[in-house]
C-alpha cells in the first residue's frame, strides 16, 4: 500500500475538466436515495396529507388520483405514510448501522491492537454473538427490553455488529503494521492520535461501501422485526409495520402490503447499487 501511494505521488495527476456521469443504474439509485433523504427531512414536499389522519369512511380505497397508493383500514393515505415512514426507516437504518459500527470499532480495535490474548478473547466473544442468527439475537433483545423504536434500533445494531467487527478487526490487523504507522510512531506521536488520525481512517476506508449497503440491510432487518410486531408498533408509519398490518387484507386490498414492501425493495436496491458504484470508483475501475 505504501508503494502505491508513493507511486501516485510521483506520477503527474491529470485533472479532469468535468465529472463523468455514473452509469444509468447508479444514477437512478443515487437519485432515489437523495429523494428518500429529502422525504425524510421535508416530507411536506411530497405530500400534504396527514399520515395519521383517520378517516373511516375512506377505508380500503384502491389507488386513485385522490390517494396515489390507496388507503389503509383506517382511511389513512398510504403514500403519505410511506413518505413519513421514510424518516423512520432511514433513521433506524442509519442509527442501527452507527451502533453496529461503534461496537465493531470498539471490538475491532481491542482485538487488533490489544495483543494475542485480548484478540483471542474478542474473537471468542464474536463467535458467541455469531452463534445467534441475527433475528434470534434481536428477538431476545426485544423480549427483554420491550418493543418500540429504541430497542429496535439497538437490536438491529447488535445483529449487524459481529459482521462489521470481524471486518474491522481484519482491517486493523492489516493496517497496523503499515509503513506510515511505523513512521508516525517513530516520530513520537501519541498512540491515541495515531489511532484516530491514521489507523482508523485507513482501516475504515474499504468499509465505506459495506456501510452504505449496510444501511439498506439494517432497514430490512428493522422492517422484519416490525413485521413480527416487535419493532415500531402501529400506528407508526414504519414500512415493516405497515406491511404486517396489511397482511390480513391481501385478498381484498393488496396495496396495503405491496407498496411498503416495494419501497423497502427499492431502498435496498438503491443502497446496494450505490455502494457498488462507490466501490468501483474507489478501486479505480471506473473513470
Partner 1 sequence: MTSTTLAVTDPRRERLAALGRRAGIRLAGGVLVLWAVATLTFFALRLMPGDPVLAILGGTTGNPSPEAIEAARQEFGLDKPLAVQYVLYLGRLLQGDLGMSYSQHLPVTRVLAEQGGATFELTVAALVLAWLLVLLLTVVTAGRGRLIGGVASLLETVSASLPHFWLGVVLLAVFAFGLRWFPPAGSDSLASLVLPAFSLAIPLAGFIAQVTRESLELTLEQPFVLTARTRGLSDLAVRFKHALRHALLPGVALSGWAIGALISGAVVCEVIFSRKGIGRQLYQAVQLQDLPLVIGISLVVAAGYVLANILVDLLYQWIDPRQQEAAA
Partner 2 sequence: MNRPILPLIPLCAVLALVGCERAEQHTAQSTQPIHGGTLVYATDREPTCLDPHVAGDMPQVFVAQQYLDSLVSMDSHGQIGPWLASRWEVSADGLRYTFHLRRDVHFTDGTPFNAEAVKANLDHMANPKTQSSTAGGYIRQYRSTKVLDDYTAEVTLATPYAAFLEVLAQGFLGIQSPTALARSRDENCESPVGSGPFKVVRWDRQNQVELVRNPDYNWAPPTAQHQGPAYLARIVWKFIQEPSVRFASLQAGEVDVIEALPPESHEAARRNPDVDLIIAQRPGNPTNGTFNLRRAPFDDIRVREALVRSADVEGALKSVYFGEFPRSGGPLSVATPFYSGDFERSQDYDPARAAKLLDEAGWTSRDSEGYRTKGGQRLRAVVLIGARTPPSELTLWEQVQATTRQVGIELVLDQMSDAQVTSRQAAWDYDIRIGYWNTNTPDVLRIIFTSAFVQPAGVGGYHQNSSGYADTGFDALLDSALATQDAELRRQRYHLAQQQAAAQYLQLTTYPQSTRLGIYKTAHGVRLEPSLAVTYLYDAWVNK
Q: What is the contact surface with partner 1 in residues (CB under 8 A)? A: 25, 124, 127-128, 130-136, 139-144, 146, 216, 220, 223-224, 227-228, 240, 243, 247, 250-251, 254, 257-258, 261, 264-266, 268-269, 272-273
**Nearer to partner 1 (CB atom), residue 69 or residue 273:** 273
284 binds, among partner 2, partner 1, none (CB under 5 to 8 A by kind): none
What is the nearest approach in angstroms of partner 1 to the Cβ of residue 65?
25
Q: In angstroms, rounded to a whole number, what is the distance separating the alpha carbons of residues 92 and 150? A: 9
Which spans of this chain sit near partner 2 (rule: CB under 8 A)?
Answer: 54, 56-57, 59-60, 73-75, 146-147, 229, 233-235, 244-245, 247-252
**Smallest separation (angstroms) from partner 1 to the CB of 283:** 13
Min CB(247)–partner 1 separation in Å: 6
- Minimal distance in Å, beta carbon 20 to partner 1? 18
CB nearer to partner 2: pick between 97 and 226: 226
Residue 194 vs 255, nearer CB to partner 1: 255
> Residue 124: which of partner 1, partner 2, none does it interact with, CB under 5 to 8 A by kind?
partner 1
Nearer to partner 1, 135 or 286 (CB): 135
- Let me know if 16 is exposed, middle or buried by CB neighbors in 10 A (0-12, 13-18, 19+): exposed
CB of 149 to partner 2, least distance (A): 12
**Partner in contact with 269, chosen from partner 1, partner 2, none, beta carbon below 5 to 8 Å by kind:** partner 1
Asked if residues 212 and 277 have their Cβ atoms less than 8 Å apart, the reply is no
Residue 167 binds which of partner 2, partner 1, none (CB < 5-8 A, kind-dependent): none
Nearer of residues 42 and 136 to partner 2, judged by Cβ: 136
d(CA 117, CA 123): 10
Residue number with CB closer to partner 2 (25 or 148): 148
CA distance linking residue 198 with residue 194, whole number of Å: 5
Residue reference for cell 508516525: 184
Half-sphere exposure of 267 (CA within 13 A, CB side): 31
Q: What is the nearest approach in angstroms of partner 1 to the Cβ of residue 246? A: 9
Partner in contact with 282, chosen from partner 1, partner 2, none, beta carbon below 5 to 8 Å by kind: none
Q: How far is the CB of 214 from partner 2 (least distance, A)?
A: 29
Which of 54, 131 has the CB closer to partner 2? 54
Amino acid at each position: 500500500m505504501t508503494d502505491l501511494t508513493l507511486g501516485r505521488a510521483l506520477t503527474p495527476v491529470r485533472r479532469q475538466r468535468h465529472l463523468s456521469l455514473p452509469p444509468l443504474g447508479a444514477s437512478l439509485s443515487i437519485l432515489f436515495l437523495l429523494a428518500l433523504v429529502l422525504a425524510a427531512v421535508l416530507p411536506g414536499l411530497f405530500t400534504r396529507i396527514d399520515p395519521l389522519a383517520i378517516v373511516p369512511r375512506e377505508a380500503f380505497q384502491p389507488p386513485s388520483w385522490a390517494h396515489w397508493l390507496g388507503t389503509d383500514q383506517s382511511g389513512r393515505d398510504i403514500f403519505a405514510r410511506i413518505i413519513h415512514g421514510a424518516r423512520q426507516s432511514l433513521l433506524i437504518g442509519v442509527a442501527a448501522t452507527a451502533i453496529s459500527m461503534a461496537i465493531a470499532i470498539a471490538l475491532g480495535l481491542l482485538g487488533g491492537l490489544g495483543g494475542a490474548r485480548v484478540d483471542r478473547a474478542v474473537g471468542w466473544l464474536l463467535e458467541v454473538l455469531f452463534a445467534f442468527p441475527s433475528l434470534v439475537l434481536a428477538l431476545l433483545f426485544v423480549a427483554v427490553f420491550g418493543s418500540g423504536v429504541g430497542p429496535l434500533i439497538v437490536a438491529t445494531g447488535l445483529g449487524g455488529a459481529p459482521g462489521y467487527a470481524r471486518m474491522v478487526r481484519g482491517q486493523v490487523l492489516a493496517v497496523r503494521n503499515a509503513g506510515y504507522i511505523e513512521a508516525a510512531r517513530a516520530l513520537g506521536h501519541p498512540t491515541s492520535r495515531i489511532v484516530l488520525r491514521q489507523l482508523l481512517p485507513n482501516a475504515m476506508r474499504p468499509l465505506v461501501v459495506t456501510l452504505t449497503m449496510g444501511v439498506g440491510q439494517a432497514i430490512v432487518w428493522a422492517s422484519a422485526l416490525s413485521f413480527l410486531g416487535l419493532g415500531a408498533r402501529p400506528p407508526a408509519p414504519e414500512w415493516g409495520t405497515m406491511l404486517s398490518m396489511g397482511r390480513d387484507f391481501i385478498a381484498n386490498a393488496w396495496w396495503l402490503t405491496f407498496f411498503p414492501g416495494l419501497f423497502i425493495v427499492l431502498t435496498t436496491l438503491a443502497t446496494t447499487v450505490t455502494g457498488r458504484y462507490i466501490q468501483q470508483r474507489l478501486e479505480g475501475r471506473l473513470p
